[in-house]
Amino acid sequence: MVTRLTDGLRDESLASLPEWRHEPARDAIVRSFAFRDFVEAFGFMTRVALLAEKADHHPEWSNVWNKVDILLTTHDAGGLSIRDIQMAQAIDALVG
Ligand SMILES: C[C@H](O)[C@H](O)[C@H]1CNC2=NC(N)=NC(=O)C2=N1
Protein backbone atom coordinates (compact mmCIF):
# COMPACT_ATOMS: atom_id res chain seq x y z
CA MET A 1 0.00 0.00 0.00
CA VAL A 2 1.46 3.30 -1.07
CA THR A 3 1.16 6.19 1.40
CA ARG A 4 0.70 9.91 0.95
CA LEU A 5 3.77 12.09 1.11
CA THR A 6 4.10 14.37 4.10
CA ASP A 7 4.11 18.10 3.31
CA GLY A 8 7.84 18.21 3.97
CA LEU A 9 8.67 15.33 1.62
CA ARG A 10 6.34 16.77 -1.02
CA ASP A 11 8.07 20.16 -0.95
CA GLU A 12 11.48 18.50 -1.03
CA SER A 13 10.45 16.39 -4.04
CA LEU A 14 8.93 19.36 -5.87
CA ALA A 15 12.18 21.27 -5.57
CA SER A 16 13.60 18.82 -8.13
CA LEU A 17 10.54 19.19 -10.41
CA PRO A 18 10.45 22.94 -11.10
CA GLU A 19 7.95 22.67 -13.97
CA TRP A 20 5.35 21.01 -11.77
CA ARG A 21 3.15 22.80 -9.24
CA HIS A 22 1.20 21.48 -6.32
CA GLU A 23 -2.60 21.59 -6.62
CA PRO A 24 -3.77 21.60 -2.99
CA ALA A 25 -7.47 21.01 -3.78
CA ARG A 26 -6.57 17.58 -5.17
CA ASP A 27 -3.25 17.01 -3.40
CA ALA A 28 -1.88 16.53 -6.91
CA ILE A 29 0.88 17.90 -9.09
CA VAL A 30 0.16 19.46 -12.47
CA ARG A 31 2.14 20.49 -15.53
CA SER A 32 1.15 21.85 -18.95
CA PHE A 33 3.02 20.90 -22.11
CA ALA A 34 2.93 22.61 -25.51
CA PHE A 35 4.12 21.00 -28.74
CA ARG A 36 4.46 22.05 -32.36
CA ASP A 37 1.20 20.43 -33.39
CA PHE A 38 -1.29 17.68 -32.58
CA VAL A 39 0.87 14.86 -33.93
CA GLU A 40 3.72 15.85 -31.58
CA ALA A 41 1.30 16.15 -28.66
CA PHE A 42 -0.31 12.80 -29.34
CA GLY A 43 3.07 11.13 -29.81
CA PHE A 44 4.03 12.40 -26.36
CA MET A 45 0.76 11.10 -24.90
CA THR A 46 1.45 7.70 -26.44
CA ARG A 47 4.85 7.56 -24.77
CA VAL A 48 3.36 8.64 -21.43
CA ALA A 49 0.63 5.99 -21.81
CA LEU A 50 3.27 3.28 -22.20
CA LEU A 51 5.12 4.54 -19.13
CA ALA A 52 1.86 4.62 -17.19
CA GLU A 53 0.95 1.06 -18.09
CA LYS A 54 4.42 -0.18 -17.18
CA ALA A 55 4.27 1.59 -13.80
CA ASP A 56 0.56 0.80 -13.28
CA HIS A 57 0.17 4.48 -12.47
CA HIS A 58 -2.03 6.57 -14.72
CA PRO A 59 -2.30 10.31 -15.31
CA GLU A 60 -5.42 12.42 -15.39
CA TRP A 61 -4.98 14.53 -18.49
CA SER A 62 -6.51 16.54 -21.27
CA ASN A 63 -5.42 17.47 -24.76
CA VAL A 64 -6.42 20.38 -26.97
CA TRP A 65 -4.57 20.30 -30.32
CA ASN A 66 -0.90 20.93 -29.36
CA LYS A 67 -1.46 21.26 -25.58
CA VAL A 68 -1.42 18.49 -22.99
CA ASP A 69 -2.31 19.14 -19.33
CA ILE A 70 -1.31 16.42 -16.89
CA LEU A 71 -2.40 15.96 -13.29
CA LEU A 72 -0.76 13.30 -11.16
CA THR A 73 -2.15 12.00 -7.90
CA THR A 74 -2.45 8.56 -6.35
CA HIS A 75 -6.05 7.42 -6.12
CA ASP A 76 -5.14 4.49 -3.86
CA ALA A 77 -3.50 6.89 -1.38
CA GLY A 78 -6.02 9.73 -1.64
CA GLY A 79 -3.29 12.19 -2.58
CA LEU A 80 0.28 12.64 -3.66
CA SER A 81 2.68 9.71 -3.25
CA ILE A 82 6.18 8.80 -4.34
CA ARG A 83 4.61 7.20 -7.43
CA ASP A 84 3.57 10.63 -8.68
CA ILE A 85 7.05 12.01 -8.16
CA GLN A 86 8.56 9.06 -10.04
CA MET A 87 6.05 9.44 -12.88
CA ALA A 88 6.71 13.19 -13.13
CA GLN A 89 10.44 12.50 -13.34
CA ALA A 90 9.90 9.90 -16.06
CA ILE A 91 7.63 12.29 -18.03
CA ASP A 92 10.16 15.10 -17.71
CA ALA A 93 12.84 12.74 -19.04
CA LEU A 94 10.72 12.18 -22.17
CA VAL A 95 10.70 15.87 -23.04
CA GLY A 96 14.37 16.32 -22.18
C1 LIG B 1 -5.53 -1.90 -9.60
C2 LIG B 1 -4.51 -0.93 -10.10
O3 LIG B 1 -3.22 -1.37 -9.79
C4 LIG B 1 -4.68 0.42 -9.42
O5 LIG B 1 -6.03 0.84 -9.48
C6 LIG B 1 -3.75 1.49 -9.95
C7 LIG B 1 -3.96 1.84 -11.42
N8 LIG B 1 -3.48 3.17 -11.74
C9 LIG B 1 -3.41 4.15 -10.82
N10 LIG B 1 -3.14 5.39 -11.16
C11 LIG B 1 -3.15 6.38 -10.28
N12 LIG B 1 -2.87 7.63 -10.65
N13 LIG B 1 -3.41 6.14 -8.97
C14 LIG B 1 -3.68 4.92 -8.52
O15 LIG B 1 -3.90 4.75 -7.33
C16 LIG B 1 -3.67 3.85 -9.45
N17 LIG B 1 -3.90 2.61 -9.08
Q: What is the ipTM of this complex?
A: 0.96
pLDDT of 7 reads: 96
50 or 1, which is more confident: 50
58: Cβ below 6 Å to ligand 1?
yes
User: Is 96 a residue whose pLDDT tops 90?
Assistant: no
Mutate which of 53, 60, 75 for ligand 1? The one with the most ligand atoms within 8 Å of its CB, which is 75
Ligand 1 center to residue 86 CA distance, Å? 14
pTM of the predicted model, to two decimals? 0.97
Q: How far is the CA of 89 from the centre of ligand 1 (A)?
A: 18
The per-residue pLDDT for range 37-87, each reduced to its tens digit, is 999 999 999 999 999 999 999 999 999 999 999 999 999 999 999 999 999
Atom number, ligand 1, closest to the C-alpha of residue 72 = 12
Q: What is the pLDDT at residue 83?
A: 98
- Judge if the beta carbon of residue 28 lies within 6 A of ligand 1: no
Question: 48 near 91, Cβ under 8 Å?
Answer: yes
Predicted confidence band of residue 32 (pLDDT cuts 50, 70, 90): very high
Q: Which helix (H) or strand (E) holds 33?
A: strand 28-34
In contact, 36 and 76? CB cutoff 8 Å: no
